[in-house]
Structure 1
């Protein structure tokens, strides 16, 4: 593995260790603004500090050298020296003393008796003639300036961070709204729109978020028109086929008894079943189906579906449960799952009831990869399989209508398994009620306690 690949993998591992919120745009923008503000404040603070410090030091140096000239004239004329001057005075820095002994003038800032002092020294008969200037005020000025720079930098960073976070939050809030609408459209809500006001009024300036929102709304409108057109076409075709199929079925019944008549009648029944499936799918696509919810014991209901399926299907009730569902639609879902297991799977086909979960399992080749990845698709089956791919599509649609969950998977030891999870009905006993609840029924369950619906 190359060094670049190792560094890339190490970087990915570091990113995985970071909390999830560090990946948000708001956090990244806050970090970027903070870093840039700190860098700018440090640069400006350093420039101001260097400039003011240099000016302050130069002023103090000029003052000290001027005093040194005055003291030098007094020393050469034999006049007494002032108290701030002297020859080889105590406390004179050694490096400045050596400079003066070598015949040169110089200045240096050093502590003298606990106070910052500006020293200036020059040659005087092989010794050092020096003066000192109090540097405390200049040092306090520089210290106060540094504190002011630091405080103003912190305030500026905080204010910039707040303003930047507010601006970024407004953008991210609009992005989150766009993402939410996109997820709603993906879930089937084709009426969902962002409706960004900037996209409706051409006079308002549009930013990139408004452009994305407008593009999403346009795409959703176009997709909705196409899907509605397809739904109307499917419904119209299925509806128009019912009348000629009814006549064809009646005519097929008049054919002489024999193999040709059986084949015609069988094909007519298949076409009528396909037409009814198409009509049911068109109603499900329209999303205007109304459910008739009631409380049912799940075990007997599944047993009834298995018995009337007319197939050798095994039934096992591990744990009984009470569910609130639409009985007719649930029977349709279970009937389609059992029929699909017998048609495309292999025996034995087993139905298991475990609480509010119903599993339909066969021992055939299992579900195809496309179905596990994206769900059943209309008129798509594996090569060589019989059917139109509508049974599972209807099962998924009816499951959504009754508020249940249908998951398709392949068993580890072979075969396909459909897992249907229904909303479980739970009746809470009254505070003064002792013992187990009565046998659940729609009337007794609603009249004897407070109902609660819990999705498992």
Structure 2
């Protein structure tokens, strides 16, 4: 039944691009099975009732023709209406049986319904027969039975559909709750338990699925936590030798080799510090140290000190409560990414609580727009052929600590198809209206 329903109804709907819910599939399946069972039972009951009535009519006709036979043999008259002798309309099959000396009955199809025949041979060789039709009472009883069967079938189908909606709705709600909880776990909320989210007293396959998802989430969380600790430990252990290497390189005599060693040692120290910062952000233990500041003035001063060539435009000034050090870290990482992978001019716009950093390069890679920044992934070679992918990862992590949203998009001409090259990349930092109360209270939204 399940396979047949899958091919007959949902398959066509899915090919037509129509998404059907579980409750409607289950309701349609129960209604279809109920209709088939009701039709089959109705046919069986109708035929059984008709056969039973015909048998009773034949028995009655046979009794009457026997009584008529006795009357004819005793007084020469049948004393029954519709009794005929040697009826020319007698069906040939019935006549053949009676001529063999046997009493028989026969049913033929008439214009108004079945015709009942009964015949018996007389001692003188003649044939005594009775021809009657299906009585009006029997016809009315059969019609009433058919009407009751139709009403009962409709009630079965409607009741089955309602039952399917109730059962399917209950199961669908549990699955939707499980899906919502699973999405929350995927967004990084480790305290959410799918089994607790679906609730319910009765255990079924949904609970098994929820328990499996919870177990998988716990295993992944433990693995991620182990990887984070290993990364942090490695970076922490590297900090001391890298610092010693940099100190030793500064004691080398001046020259081109010394400059190369110092450059590589500084790059290694920066990488180690970035890895440690990412590990701290992943641990969700960072807290913002909040201060009140004018956002436009703050951004203008910090950008001018970092790179005077960057254009800053304050559209609307706003007072915000945030962590200046973390905000500066996000801003500088966005500027560094624009300078490394984009093209001039680089523009910074402040409008209320929103900061936009735009360059005029080839745009962000598609995987970054889809999945967000990932560590040690620099994207396509045309924009991110160098670097470690930690700059935007740190910016996104610091934005979460600030309770802000960080989004990424590419700039294309209005109405241009996706294959047209981008005219630049825009990173947008949305600071919250209220100061964050804990880490991640305003998670980073997916790129628009």
TM-score, normalization by structure 2: 0.71
Q: Secondary structure at the match of 2:363?
A: coil
Q: What does 1:353-364 correspond to in 2, within 5 Å?
A: 353=350, 356-364=353-361
Match of 1:139 in 2: 139
Tell me: CA distance 1:101–1:261, structure 2 relative to 1, closer, same or farther (3 Å).
closer
- Verify the 8 A CA contact 1:322 1:424 in the aligned structure 2: no
| Deviation string, structure 1 residues 57-105 (Cα, Å, up to 9, x no partner) | 22123213432443466578554845x54779xxxxxxx9844799957
Q: Secondary structure at the match of 1:288?
A: coil
Match of 1:31 in 2: 28
Q: What does 1:33-48 correspond to in 2, within 5 Å?
A: 33-48=30-45
Task: Verify: 1:287 aligned to 2:284, yes or no.
Answer: yes
Deviation at 1:341, TM superposition (A): 0.7
Deviation at 1:27, TM superposition (A): 1.8
Higher-RCO chain (CA-CA 8 Å, sequence separation at least 6): 2
- Verify the 8 A CA contact 1:41 1:153 in the aligned structure 2: yes
Write the distance in 2 (CA, Å) between the matches of 1:145 and 1:386: 84
Tell me: CA distance 1:67–1:241, structure 2 relative to 1, closer, same or farther (3 Å).
same
Write the distance in 1 (CA, Å) between the matches of 2:16 and 2:291: 49
Tell me: CA distance 1:177–1:252, structure 2 relative to 1, closer, same or farther (3 Å).
same
- Verify the 8 A CA contact 1:333 1:398 in the aligned structure 2: yes
Match of 2:425 in 1: 417
Deviation at 1:43, TM superposition (A): 0.9
Tell me: CA distance 1:85–1:250, structure 2 relative to 1, closer, same or farther (3 Å).
same
Q: What does 1:40-439 correspond to in 2, within 5 Å?
A: 40-71=37-68, 74=71, 77=75, 79=77, 81-82=79-80, 85=82, 98-99=89-90, 104=95, 120=117, 132=132, 135-195=135-195, 209-250=206-247, 259=256, 262-292=259-289, 298-318=295-315, 325-353=322-350, 356-381=353-378, 385-401=385-401, 402-409=403-410, 411=412, 414-422=422-430, 425=433
Q: Secondary structure at the match of 1:406?
A: strand
Q: Secondary structure at the match of 1:343?
A: helix
Show structure 2 runs of 5+ residues with no match. 1-9, 96-104, 413-419, 436-444
TM-score, normalization by structure 1: 0.70
Tell me: CA distance 1:167–1:100, structure 2 relative to 1, closer, same or farther (3 Å).
closer
Show structure 1 runs of 5+ residues with no match. 1-10, 89-95, 198-204, 427-441, 443-454
Deviation at 1:421, TM superposition (A): 4.8
| Deviation string, structure 1 residues 336-395 (Cα, Å, up to 9, x no partner) | 111111112221112234555433222223333443343333223355943222101111
Q: Secondary structure at the match of 1:376?
A: coil
Deviation at 1:47, TM superposition (A): 1.0
Write the distance in 2 (CA, Å) between the matches of 1:269 and 1:406: 30
Tell me: CA distance 1:213–1:103, structure 2 relative to 1, closer, same or farther (3 Å).
closer
Query: Aligned residue pairs: how many?
Result: 400
Match of 2:101 in 1: none
Write the distance in 2 (CA, Å) between the matches of 1:185 and 1:229: 18
Deviation at 1:290, TM superposition (A): 2.5
Write the distance in 2 (CA, Å) between the matches of 1:166 and 1:43: 26
Write the distance in 1 (CA, Å) between the matches of 2:427 and 2:84: 103
